Structure 1
């Protein structure tokens, strides 16, 4: 089991088409995993999500290995789906409330949006809240901000 699987407590996440994706497929050396804590009802989240999506798409187009996992604080499956449909990355299903609660506790998430960056091989935290790095380094020149 990979370090990221241990953190996420699942072997599969899903894309916004409802397809399952093996967590192991985006883990390993020189790969990075972002945990995006957000919700549709949060105005700062709605402002940051398109910025993060542009950043994500740019980095991956350049061959940098970043996968993001949306960890929702939405209040219903409908809210989750409507918001997640606008995201190009993966998510833990909203029905996994115990898992999302445990992940939020592990990283001390008290407010959203939060973008925590992890090493895709070791699971070590590279940056507890990289939101400012994404907005100030939009080209990703200093990514992964070690």
Structure 2
């Protein structure tokens, strides 16, 4: 998925740590974007996030970026959970605007869910399985 379509989907800015940055800057040079649907209150999410962070850390120099899309109910919970993550996030203030559409688009009926988006437009909604079983952030 190209940056123009990602901007339509995720908005013009992403959060990196405590900073809000233009989406073009956050995703520059990345050919695979992983959308990570998760929340602090979800036990399977709390178990999967460290696994995902480990695989992400091993692949940090590759052309992959993860974008956290929170299901947390308030900003304090979002901020606390996001501090455990070394990747980007849709800013909490934007979630109500984008989350319903993006969740429907990628069939998010439960969390955690990890969706891979490639620059060529291909999509894989089985990202969690790839990370847990195969320890990678790419798909064929």
Q: TM-score, normalised by structure 1?
A: 0.85
4+ residue runs of structure 1 moved beyond 3 angstroms? none
Greater fraction of residues in helix: 2
| Number of residue pairs matched by the alignment | 136
Give 3-state SS (helix, strand or coil) of 1:110's partner: coil
Q: Which residue of 2 aligns with 1:51?
A: 51
Structure 1 unaligned spans of 5+:
none
Q: Which residue of 2 aligns with 1:84?
A: 82
Q: Which residue of 1 aligns with 2:124?
A: 127
1:133 positional shift: 0.6
Give 3-state SS (helix, strand or coil) of 1:2's partner: helix
1:137 positional shift: 1.6
Structure 2 unaligned spans of 5+:
none
Matches within 5 A, 1:1-146: 2-8=4-10, 10-17=11-18, 19-25=19-25, 26-27=27-28, 31-60=31-60, 63-96=61-94, 97-119=96-118, 121-122=119-120, 124-138=121-135, 140=136, 143-146=137-140
| RMSD after superposition | 1.6
1:129 positional shift: 2.4
